[in-house]
């Protein structure tokens, strides 16, 4: 297919390594999940290409780190400006390879760009510390230095923003970066490299290696002693594999893993606000985000009213090709994703859940699944334990606060959670009791570059965004001066 781009040069299919556009021996196809049509054949690098890219990143990094924060900030700022200027084209490429509605894709581009802007600003503020000496002749200073070469592995659900959130702090503090984008969505990453080059990011500092061999490339990145750190967003399953593979070289790691977010609605909640919040937290990106509400707990006094209102709103959603006007839910990313959603719904129905809305594939065929609301959901169902990663809202009933908190925390995950209540004391109590790195209180949308995004428990390590976001890419060095 040919995409309607103002600047067709953004749709590139090569790898970007050490400032050069290169082709591998083979290519792999990228399909539009809404239509099944081929978007492009992309060059397919393999594990044997990793070492060369890492060598280049390693060689380029010291000169980048030696620049002043202000100089790096200026380059990042230009990159941010170019992303914003080209937001329409970047969104078109994103929707074509990933399927989300065009308006959401545009939102993702601006969201991704906001991290580049934010960390461009932070580049100038990598402050150290002085510590009063422990002996009269001693002076102690702490400086912060870039870790070095960063290897990145990212998923398909946010093909732009997941990379932006990592590369921006890394480059801001003086690291270099080797990115392996998801094989389903490499084109957005390559387009970022086109703009990085235009912005003046030096050769070797940002490298993009498309590959169909995720395991092979991942292994090479983890084993390479010149890679100081791996940053990964994806499933907890793959996060465990990468952590094991990083043990031999004691790599630093940032991991943004699975979610399974609870969304609790108390009797005293503002019903309309809670329904709106649930719509955003559940159906954004077709339910395919790691902070999507996965388990919705509703107190018995408000349960029926909430369920009816949510089902009514969901009935009004428009499912279809993300390029069509007014579409709010796109296709699922793959047949496998569709099967998982079907399996979760049929398991719930077999165990006594009721369909209030949806509950089956859409008439459009392909990987379209109707936005769904299930009532009478109980904790013995799969939807209570596993991330569905699709547009299914399972509604559990609860009686009191302690029960809701216990159910919400009964998971190995701890990324995001949400709740709605107007009682100030309860807001504090529940916010402190929920075991997650992020809590949305009377809101279903929490992601922003100004706040630290990340999980506890088996949802990961590290934080992205905010002034804390640079810490994942820095080492502390303590200087002890004696004989003074
Ligand atoms: P998701 O369910 O979001 O696709 P995954 O964890 O399966 O989550 O994938 C996230 C990213 O990790 C993707 O880019 C995928 O290609 C990559 N990946 C999958 N398996 C491995 C592996 N064994 N080693 C390295 N990367 C992997």
pLDDT single digits (tens) 338-383: 999 999 999 999 999 999 999 999 999 999 999 999 999 999 999 9
Select from 28, 30, 155 the residue to mutate for testing ligand 1; criterion: most ligand atoms less than 8 Å from CB. 155
User: Does position 296 have pLDDT exceeding 80, yes or no?
Assistant: yes
Select from 99, 223, 227, 234 the residue to mutate for testing ligand 1; criterion: most ligand atoms less than 8 Å from CB. 234
- Ligand 1 nearest-atom number relative to CA 217: 25
Distance 215 CA to ligand 1 centre (A): 8
The set of protein residues with a Cβ atom below 6 angstroms from ligand 1 is 153-156, 182-183, 214-215, 218, 234-235, 238, 241
Distance 345 CA to ligand 1 centre (A): 24
Work out the percent of the chain whose per-residue pLDDT is above 70: 100
- Ligand 1 nearest-atom number relative to CA 182: 14
- Ligand 1 nearest-atom number relative to CA 233: 10
Q: What pLDDT is stored for residue 1 in this prediction?
A: 58
**ipTM exceeds 0.85:** yes
403 assigned to active site: no
Distance 202 CA to ligand 1 centre (A): 28
Distance 7 CA to ligand 1 centre (A): 31
Per residue in 229-278, pLDDT (tens digit) is: 999 999 999 999 999 999 999 999 999 999 999 999 999 999 999 999 99
Per residue in 21-62, pLDDT (tens digit) is: 999 999 999 999 999 999 999 999 999 999 999 999 999 999
Please write down the HEC assignment for all residues of the chain: CCCCCCCHHHCCCCEEECCEEECCCEEEEEECCCCCCEEEEEEECCHHHHHHHHHHHHHHHHHHHHCCHHHHHHHHHHHHHHHHHCHHHHHHHHHHHHCCCHHHHHHHHHHHHHHHHHHHHHHHHCCCEEECCCCCCCEEEEEEEECCEEEEECCCCCCCHHHHHHHHHHHHHCCEEEEECCCCCHHHHHHHHHHHHHHCCCCCCEEECCCCCHHHHHHHHHHCCCEEEEEEECCHHHHHHHHHHHCCCCCEEEEECCCCEEEEECCCCCHHHHHHHHHHHHHHHHHCCCCCEEEEEEEHHHHHHHHHHHHHHHHCCCECCCCCCCCCECCCCCHHHHHHHHHHHHHHHHCCCEEEECCCECCCCCCCECCEEEEEECCCCHHHHCCCCCCEEEEEEECCHHHHHHHHHCCCCCCEEEEECCCHHHHHHHHHHCCCCEEEECCCCCCCCCCCECCCHHHEECCECCHHHHHHHEEEEEEEECCC
Select from 47, 153, 154, 232 the residue to mutate for testing ligand 1; criterion: most ligand atoms less than 8 Å from CB. 153
Q: Which one of 256, 276, 357, 387 is the catalytic residue?
A: 256
Work out the percent of the chain whose per-residue pLDDT is above 90: 100
Distance 212 CA to ligand 1 centre (A): 11
pTM of the model: 0.97
Q: What pLDDT is stored for residue 285 in this prediction?
A: 96
Q: What pLDDT is stored for residue 152 in this prediction?
A: 98
User: Does position 295 have pLDDT exceeding 70, yes or no?
Assistant: yes
- Ligand 1 nearest-atom number relative to CA 218: 25
Residue nearest to atom 24 of ligand 1 (CA): 215
Average pLDDT in the chain: 97
Distance 238 CA to ligand 1 centre (A): 6
Residue nearest to atom 11 of ligand 1 (CA): 155
Q: What pLDDT is stored for residue 2 in this prediction?
A: 80
């Amino acid at each position: 297919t040919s995409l309607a781009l103002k600047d067709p040069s953004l749709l590139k299919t090569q790898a970007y390594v050490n400032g050069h556009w290169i082709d591998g021996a083979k290519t792999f196809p990228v399909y539009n999940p809404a239509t099944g049509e081929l978007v492009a054949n992309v060059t397919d690098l393999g594990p044997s290409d990793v070492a060369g890219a890492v060598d280049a990143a390693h060689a380029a990094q010291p000169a980048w780190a030696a620049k002043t924060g202000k100089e790096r900030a200026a380059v990042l700022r230009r990159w941010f400006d170019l992303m914003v200027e080209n937001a329409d084209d970047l969104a078109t490429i994103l929707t074509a390879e990933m399927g989300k509605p065009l308006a959401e894709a545009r939102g993702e581009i601006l969201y991704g760009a906001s991290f580049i802007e934010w960390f461009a600003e932070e580049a100038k503020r990598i402050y150290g510390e002085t510590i009063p000496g422990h002996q009269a002749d001693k002076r102690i200073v702490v400086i912060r230095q870039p870790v070095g070469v960063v290897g990145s592995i990212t998923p398909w659900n946010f093909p732009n923003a997941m990379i932006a959130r990592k590369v921006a702090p890394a480059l801001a503090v003086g690291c270099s970066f080797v990115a392996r984008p998801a094989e389903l969505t490499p084109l957005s990453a390559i387009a970022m490299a086109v703009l990085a080059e235009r912005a003046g990011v030096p050769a070797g500092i940002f490298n993009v290696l498309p590959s169909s061999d995720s395991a092979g490339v991942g292994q090479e990145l983890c084993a390479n002693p010149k890679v100081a750190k791996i940053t990964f967003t994806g499933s907890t399953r793959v996060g465990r594999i990468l952590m094991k593979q990083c043990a031999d070289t004691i790599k630093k790691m940032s991991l943004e893993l699975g979610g399974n977010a609870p969304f609790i609605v108390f009797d005293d909640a503002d019903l309309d606000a809670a329904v709106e919040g649930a719509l955003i937290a559940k159906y954004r990106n077709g339910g395919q985000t790691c902070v999507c509400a996965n388990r919705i707990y509703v107190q018995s006094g408000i349960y029926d009213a909430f369920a009816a209102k949510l089902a009514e709103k969901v009935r009004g959603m428009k499912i279809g090709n993300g390029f069509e006007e007014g579409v709010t839910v796109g296709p699922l990313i793959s047949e496998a994703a569709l099967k998982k959603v079907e399996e979760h719904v049929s398991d719930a129905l077999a165990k006594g859940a009721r369909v209030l809305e949806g509950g089956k594939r859409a008439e459009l065929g392909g990987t379209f699944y109707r936005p769904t609301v299930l009532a009478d959901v109980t904790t013995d169902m799969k939807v209570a334990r596993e991330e569905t990663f699709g547009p299914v809202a399972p509604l559990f009933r609860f009686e009191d606060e302690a029960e809701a908190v216990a159910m919400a925390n009964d998971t190995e995950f701890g990324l995001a959670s949400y709740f709605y209540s107007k009682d100030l004391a309860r807001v504090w109590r529940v916010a402190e009791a929920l075991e997650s790195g992020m809590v949305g209180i009377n809101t279903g949308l929490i992601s922003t570059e100004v706040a630290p995004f990340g999980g506890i428990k088996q949802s990961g390590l590290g934080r992205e965004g905010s002034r804390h976001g640079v810490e994942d890419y820095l080492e502390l060095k303590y200087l002890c001066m004696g004989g003074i």
